[in-house]
Amino acid sequence: MSTSDSRDDARASDPRAEEDPSVRDLAETPDATAPDGSEVRLLVAAQGGSMAHFRLPPGATARAVRHRTVTELWYVVAGRGAIWRSSEGDGREEDLYPGRSIAIPVGTTFQFRAIGDAPLDVVGVTMPPWPGNDEAAPADGPWSPTVAPRSPGAEKDEPGVTTA
């Protein structure tokens, strides 16, 4: 199923999206797979930023990436995990748990993982809005990723598709 098909399915499950694009319910199925390997469910977008829900399965470790031009703000809604961030070689690990927020400034290399038997669910805001899949550059992180690599061309460069 293509990303556009997934987006159409998501819109069909949220009739308000047709009427008002500033309102969107969380879709049951992912709209895309992020370059880091997490599931992406699109939320709302505006001129200054875009919002999405990211999910990493229980016990999974994402691939490390670096965003070229966007800053992300994360808010953990469910699950537990850890995130490693590095800017100019100053790597630091932080715990992720419900209620915690964290900033990932532009140019920061990061990698995250879900710890325990529940998925890690994060709502993220990308500023400016996500420009496309070339935004996330592969990087080296402290952990071996466990998510399957995304096949080239598997997702379109959709406006508002935010990666984690």
One pLDDT digit (tens) per residue for the chain, 164 residues:
444 444 445 445 555 556 788 899 999 999 999 999 999 999 999 999 999 999 999 999 999 999 999 999 999 999 999 999 999 878 999 999 999 999 999 999 999 999 999 999 999 999 999 998 789 999 999 999 999 876 555 544 444 444 44
Per-residue CA distances from 52 to 87, 130, 146, 160 (Å): 24, 10, 22, 8
The third-level CATH classification (topology) of the domain covering 32-138 is Jelly Rolls (2.60.120)
pLDDT score, position 7: 44
d(CA 127, CA 150): 24
Phi, psi angles (nearest 5°) of residue 93:
-105, 140
What are the extents of the domains in the chain? 32-138
pLDDT score, position 117: 97
Strand partners, 121: 55, 78
C-beta separation of 157 from 134 below 8 A = yes
C-beta separation of 71 from 106 below 8 A = yes
Phi, psi angles (nearest 5°) of residue 127:
-130, 125
Longest dimension (CA), the chain: 47
- Sequence-separated (6 or more) residues with CB below 8 Å from residue 115: 59, 80, 81, 82
pLDDT score, position 90: 86
Neighbours of 99 (CB within 10 A): 7
pLDDT score, position 21: 80
pLDDT score, position 142: 97
